Amino acid sequence: MLKLIDLISREVSGAFSAAGYDEAYGKVTVSNRPDLCEYQCNGALPAAKVYHKPPMAIAEDVAAQLAGNANFERVEACRPGFINLRLSPASLADYLEKMRTSERFGVEPDPAACRMIIDYGGPNVAKPLHVGHLRSAIIGESLKRIFRFFGNDVVGDIHMGDWGLQMGLIIAELRERHPELPYFDEAFAGEYPAEAPFTIADLEEIYPAASAKSKADEAFAAKAHDMTRRLQEGDRGCRALWEHIMRLSVADLKKNYSRLDVDFELWLGESDAQPYIEPMLGIMQDKGLAQRSDGALVVDVSEPEDTKQIPPCILLKSDGATLYATTDLATLLQRMGDYQPGRIYYVTDKRQNLHFEQVFRAARKAGIVPPEVRLDHLGFGTMNGPDGKPFKTREGGVMRLERLIAEITEFVEKKIEDNQVVGDAERPETARKIAMAALKYGDLSNQPTKDYVFDLDRFAAFEGNTGPYILYTIVRIKSILSRAESADALCVRAALSPEEKAMQLVISRLADNLELACRDSAPNLICAYIYELAGAVNKFYHETRILTEPDPEKKAGFLAGIALAKSVLETCIDLLGFEAPDKM
Ligand code: ARG
């Protein structure tokens, strides 16, 4: 379905052409003076130079052509040559009724939609999830839903850090503590126990202990390196321990991410890319791209037009060890082979910008990723505490994700307890939904690349530019609709007040906002849009007696308008990754 602005542009272009001017001048924009008009066309100004006429004369010619056009309530030529437009309430209502009765509100899929892989989340196994992983999960999940909405076939891959030294550290520490375990007995040929000899809580204690020990104790560090090597070479005992670690960690991660309503189609990680490292290095060598530099194997990825220096991408360290870039290049080879995606999209902290620039360039040079496949990296900013530094616990430690979610949920739960609208039975689930809205909207309403300050009081407020305010608006509409007798004859009707028209105009701009949010990977544009819509709905609600309206047709029109607003809001918050309760 055409966007309303394109429909209006078509009418105005037709008028330019009927008046003897090039129709290209008929492009219309949303008015930046909503007090004067709703849409405007400034085409008479550039046309004046070409046709050697005063712009005002052209604007008047065009306005005359539009006189009597049923789409407009008023068309005015204004000095120095603007054409100001007001839609007729009937045609606006018509458009909304089409939206209301179309699938996905008539928003067209992206003609360039393709198969996509989004690499987001990126937790490291056996290390607790912390708020640094939170943004990747929140932004990645929202982008995945937005890309899907526009018809892309999107696969989310969590891409765990599940390989390398961190695993060697854990295994080495386990051996120090429990040398008697069969995993460390090289002569052991039987079956290893099915149950892990540790719990997830043990692991969370073991990893930091081992990591600290390796920094202070060289002999232990050497043992950890040795265990890493043995794991990589396929040692049975190490492999069995690794599998235990993975099983426990993945179960724990699944629990945590599901609390966030974030889910992944693929639970792959760095370990899955290991078989692709040799073939990837082979390609680099065959293409003559791999060079020795101080013993390391590197690919030069600098370009003559670079304004800042891009250092070479390191494939192997001088001791033969693989690095982050090695794994990411191998993963690209794997993904291209397994999924033939048209686009691969990474969501990480912006401190990884250079890493991805190097990896993308190396992959292009080697032909691992052909030119028609898009590679994108969204480097997001930091979530800061009130002191402007990366968010910490009150004691100054790294805030664990679980604890953060628990704190927000508790805070919200107290609030709704005071309000006494939600029954005891629904309270935990309602609190969870509001907490998610507070957390996710608080994050997503910022431009992703910017840092922001986490402020629980502000994010969880029921008024202002917050997630709970949006939910509150939806809940209010739900309550009105539930008190209306019948929803059968709903039909959007011509607006009867400026407030109703204003609400309808915002609804009509859904597609424009979603398209921009998708094009620019900017969930913040959806937040801004629903904030505007919620404001318009609340204004309309305050100015209108909806349920007590005696004229059944008028009443059905009001109800259809707010019901449509509700569906639009619900669709938008779903794209942001949260949902509304029935009461709050
Ligand atoms: N595990 C990494 C980290 O914690 C993020 C992984 C992102 N994805 C990737 N393909 N490099 O920083």
Ligand 1 atom closest to the Cα of residue 355 is: 11
CB atoms within 10 A of CB 181: 18
Could you tell me the sign of the dihedral formed by the alpha carbons of 543, 92, 76, 533, in that order?
A: positive
Residue 443 CB partners (closer than 8 Å, separation 6+):
134, 135, 138, 139, 383, 452
Angstrom distances, CA of residue 274 to CA of 26, 292, 358: 57, 22, 20
- Give the tokens for residue 556: 């059905």
Query: What are the start-end ranges of the E strands in 273-398?
Result: 290-293, 296-299, 313-316, 343-349, 374-380, 383-384
Confidence of residue 128 (pLDDT cuts 50, 70, 90): confident
Residue 358 scores a pLDDT above 60: yes
CB of 95 closer than 8 Å to CB of 105: no
The residue whose C-alpha atom lies closest to atom 5 belonging to ligand 1 is: 122
∠ CA 398-401-402 to the nearest 5 degrees? 120
In sequence order, the β-bridge partners of residue 379 are 348
What pTM does this model have?
Answer: 0.95
Edge to edge, the sheet with strand 72-78 lists: 28-30, 39-41, 82-87, 72-78
The response to whether residue 269 sits with its C-beta less than 6 Å from ligand 1 reads: no
Question: In angstroms, rounded to a whole number, what is the distance separating the alpha carbons of residues 496 and 267?
Answer: 53
Ligand 1 atom closest to the Cα of residue 349 is: 12
Confidence of residue 28 (pLDDT cuts 50, 70, 90): very high
The residue whose C-alpha atom lies closest to atom 3 belonging to ligand 1 is: 122
The response to whether residue 166 sits with its C-beta less than 6 Å from ligand 1 reads: no
The response to whether residue 132 sits with its C-beta less than 6 Å from ligand 1 reads: no
Beta-strand relationship, 343-349 and 115-119: parallel
CA–centroid distance, 66 to ligand 1, in Å, is 57
The response to whether residue 524 sits with its C-beta less than 6 Å from ligand 1 reads: no
Residue 554 scores a pLDDT above 70: yes
Return the amino acid letter for 92: L
Question: In angstroms, rounded to a whole number, what is the distance separating the alpha carbons of residues 446 and 576?
Answer: 12
- Give the tokens for residue 415: 């609030």
Question: In angstroms, rounded to a whole number, what is the distance separating the alpha carbons of residues 48 and 82?
Answer: 12
Within 67-164, where are the H helices? 89-101, 131-149
Q: What is the pLDDT of residues 151-200, one digit of tens each?
A: 999 999 999 999 989 999 999 999 999 999 999 999 999 999 999 999 99
Q: What is the pLDDT of residue 395?
A: 78
Q: What is the pLDDT of residues 413-470, one digit of tens each?
A: 999 998 889 999 999 999 999 999 999 999 999 999 999 999 999 999 999 999 999 9
Q: What is the pLDDT of residues 84-124, one digit of tens each?
A: 999 999 999 999 999 999 999 999 999 999 999 999 999 99
Question: In angstroms, rounded to a whole number, what is the distance separating the alpha carbons of residues 263 and 240?
Answer: 27
The residue whose C-alpha atom lies closest to atom 7 belonging to ligand 1 is: 122
Residue 487 scores a pLDDT above 70: no
Ligand 1 atom closest to the Cα of residue 352 is: 12
Asked if the peptide bond before residue 80 counts as cis, ω within 30 degrees of 0, the response is: yes
Residue 283 scores a pLDDT above 90: yes
Return the amino acid letter for 128: P
CA–centroid distance, 159 to ligand 1, in Å, is 7
